[in-house]
């Protein structure tokens, strides 16, 4: 069983080093309201030796394809070939509100972006004429981009974050792995069907394709206290932006929690953060998290593995660095109990 851990910038080095010591396979840096991923990963790369590193994810609207290829090749060199490039289009509010990039036709934008990045990582001179990107611009006499970073290996894996069916198919078709969010074992099985369809389009199967569901973790013998630790996380994602365009509200709706998600969003939008956290449906949060004592967490991990996960990526929810390390140890103990 392979394990990954999502890092926060405040405790990234300490958590990554302990995860490495415990035999975790991967440390991932999210990118969003609190920190960028590249800075965190560069720091961790210099303070670890064996654990692989991944962006989870670099936001496609926030970086040109050339900059992403340059950053990926630099991180791979700094880590001596341990980097995996996770990409995602983010969501309409981030794309348009932060970066001023329209969110129209995200699938076409992602396809072109990944194509440019792959060609750059292959050290090709990149000339691209597409609907979303044109390198160099029409009429320009600029020299096309060529990456000069000394490669340490032939291939950097590219993973895509995806939620909807068409985006999942695209991930299967053009990437090396999928970063999942808000997954149950049952929805993981459904996602694999879409990923498999995409792989078939590319003339491939799922052999060697990485399936990495991200799972919030709170370890506590008291189920209510375990639940309370993750309520703010779900309130944030269900509450952000325009509910009609909120991917996470739509996903909750497909799981049967549409009305509850709408209630969370209403309170969050009104500034009632306490009310939004309280409104998070326990049934929904429990189904897409690892909550409770170690024995229950082990049982849940086993379900995800049976459903097709190749690496379980845990997010340790604790208020202190020591608490995060305790969760790392608990998940490692759960893995050990499964493998015995």
Q: How far apart are CA 81 and CA 283, in angstroms?
A: 41
Same domain for 298 and 233: no
pLDDT tens sequence across 277-307: 999 999 999 999 999 999 999 999 999 999 9
Q: Given pLDDT bands bounded at 50, 70 and 90, which one contains residue 68?
A: very high
Q: How far apart are CA 274 and CA 95, in angstroms?
A: 27
Own/partner long-range contacts of 93-100 (Cβ < 8 Å, ≥24 apart): 93/240, 93/241, 93/242, 93/245, 94/32, 94/59, 94/61, 95/59, 95/61, 97/241, 98/61, 98/62, 99/59, 99/61, 99/62
Q: What is the pLDDT of residue 93?
A: 87
Instruction: Choose one of 246, 266, 288: the last residue of a domain.
Output: 288
Q: What is the pLDDT of residue 53?
A: 98
Q: What is the pLDDT of residue 33?
A: 86
Cβ neighbours of residue 285 closer than 8 Å, sequence gap 6 or more: 216, 227, 230, 231, 234, 291
Same domain for 263 and 304: no
Q: What is the pTM of this model?
A: 0.97
| CATH code of residue 174 | 3.20.20.30
Token pair recorded at residue 301: 């991990």
Indicate if the pLDDT at residue 252 is higher than 90. Answer: yes
Q: What is the domain extent for residue 104?
A: 2-219+293-339
- Residue that is written with structure tokens 């291939």 in the block: 155
What is the average pLDDT across 19-27?
98
Q: Crossing angle of helices 223-239/247-254, nearest 10°?
A: 130
What is the average pLDDT across 132-151?
96
Same domain for 228 and 207: no
- The distance from CA 290 to its chain's CA centroid, rounded to whole angstroms, is 17
Same domain for 192 and 315: yes
CB 220 within 8 A of CB 226: yes
Indicate if the pLDDT at residue 208 is higher than 90. Answer: yes
Q: Is the dihedral of CA 327, 329, 333, 339 positive or negative?
A: positive
- What element of type H or E holds 234? helix 223-239
Same domain for 183 and 53: yes
Same domain for 314 and 211: yes
Same domain for 62 and 39: yes
CB 180 within 8 A of CB 214: yes
Q: What is the number of domains present in the chain?
A: 2
Percent of the chain with pLDDT over 70: 100
- What element of type H or E holds 77? helix 65-78
User: What is the residue-averaged pLDDT of the chain?
Assistant: 96
Same domain for 82 and 120: yes
pLDDT tens sequence across 263-277: 999 999 999 999 999
pLDDT tens sequence across 27-63: 999 998 899 999 999 999 999 999 999 999 999 999 9
Token pair recorded at residue 309: 């996960």
Q: What is the pLDDT of residue 273?
A: 97
Same domain for 214 and 244: no
Identify which of 74, 170, 169, 154 has the alpha carbon closest to the alpha carbon of residue 114.
Answer: 170
Q: What is the pLDDT of residue 91?
A: 87
pLDDT tens sequence across 72-107: 999 999 999 999 999 999 988 899 999 999 999 999
Q: What is the pLDDT of residue 340?
A: 86
What is the average pLDDT across 212-240?
97
Same domain for 233 and 139: no
Same domain for 36 and 132: yes
Same domain for 213 and 147: yes
């Amino acid at each position: 069983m392979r394990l990954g851990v999502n890092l926060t910038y405040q405790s990234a080095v300490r958590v990554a080093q302990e995860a490495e010591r415990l035999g975790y396979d991967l440390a991932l840096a999210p990118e969003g309201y609190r920190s960028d991923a590249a800075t965190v990963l560069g720091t961790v790369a210099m303070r670890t030796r064996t654990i692989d590193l991944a962006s989870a994810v670099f936001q496609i609207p926030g970086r040109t394809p050339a900059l992403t290829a340059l950053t990926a090749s630099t991180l791979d060199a700094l880590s001596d070939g341990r980097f995996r490039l996770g990409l995602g289009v983010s969501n309409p509010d981030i794309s348009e509100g932060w970066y001023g990039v329209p969110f129209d036709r995200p699938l076409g934008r992602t396809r072109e972006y990944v194509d440019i990045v792959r060609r750059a990582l292959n050290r090709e001179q990149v000339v691209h004429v597409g609907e979303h990107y044109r390198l160099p611009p029409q009429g320009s006499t600029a020299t096309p981009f060529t990456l000069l970073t000394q490669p340490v290996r032939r291939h950097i894996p590219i993973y895509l974050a995806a939620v909807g069916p068409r985006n999942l198919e695209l991930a299967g078709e053009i990437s090396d792995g999928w970063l999942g969010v808000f997954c149950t074992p049952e929805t993981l099985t459904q996602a694999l069907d879409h990923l498999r369809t995409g792989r078939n389009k590319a003339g491939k199967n799922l052999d060697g394709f990485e399936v990495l569901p991200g799972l919030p973790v709170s370890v506590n013998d008291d189920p209510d206290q375990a639940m309370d630790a993750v309520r703010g996380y779900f309130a944030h994602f269900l509450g952000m932006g325009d509910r009609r365009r909120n991917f996470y509200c739509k996903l909750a709706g497909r799981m049967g929690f549409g009305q509850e998600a709408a209630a969370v969003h209403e309170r969050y939008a009104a500034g009632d953060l306490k009310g939004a956290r309280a409104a998070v449906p326990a049934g929904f949060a429990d189904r897409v998290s690892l909550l409770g004592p170690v024995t229950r967490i082990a049982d849940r991990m086993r379900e995800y593995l049976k459903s097709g996960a190749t690496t379980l990526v845990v997010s340790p929810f604790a208020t202190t660095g020591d608490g995060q390390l305790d969760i790392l140890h608990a998940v490692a103990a759960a893995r050990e109990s499964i493998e015995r």
